[in-house]
Structure 1
Amino acid sequence: MIRENEDNHILKCRQLLHQYIVDIHVKIETERLIFIRLNQSKLRFEEYIHLRDAIVDDGNTTNIGRLMILPSSYEGSPRHMYDYAQDAIAYVRQCVRSDLFITFTCNSA
């Protein structure tokens, strides 16, 4: 239902709107991380071989702490970035034969 004569006060307060958007984004990311942390057993992350290799090779379990593995569906995780890199390499291999492969990095802070 569209109300023609009523103003949206949230959109008129620009800085407040920006703060609201940031707060909601942080809340969503926090909920996603809590879900991943609480459902590690359901996501079957205990089967990853890297943790077992670290325990077998080092034998020192005091340095490991509590491991929380982020899935590739979580944006910004190492697995997510690795999947993006693999997709880019597969795209270049299949579709485009290029002479240069240019990459760039930026500081997100």
Structure 2
Amino acid sequence: MNGDRAAHERSGTESSDPAEVTSRVVVYTRAGCHLCEDACALVERVCSETGTAWTAVDVNTSDALRAAYSDSVPVVTVDGVQQGFWRIDENRLRRLLTR
């Protein structure tokens, strides 16, 4: 696990059970994915600025998550609605969280 991911774990929450996720922003990730690390850093920054709770969920913890998101990670949802995948638009995320 690299430094970026470790920093994320201190600021965000990680969950292996999607039913337990109560954060407004969820990042579906996979270990070893450089795009996932970039997305988590971006989400951490924007959520810190806006005071929004966020969670990272590893898609490899569930067959259903792996089937739903495997080809698209990282995937970012806000209030349960998918807002982006692969490369996350920082300005769009910020707008969604401040309206």
TM-score by length of 1: 0.23
Could you say which structure has the higher strand fraction? 2
Higher RCO (C-alpha under 8 Å, 6+ residues apart): 2
Could you say which structure has the higher helix fraction? 1
Larger Rg: 1
TM-score by length of 2: 0.25
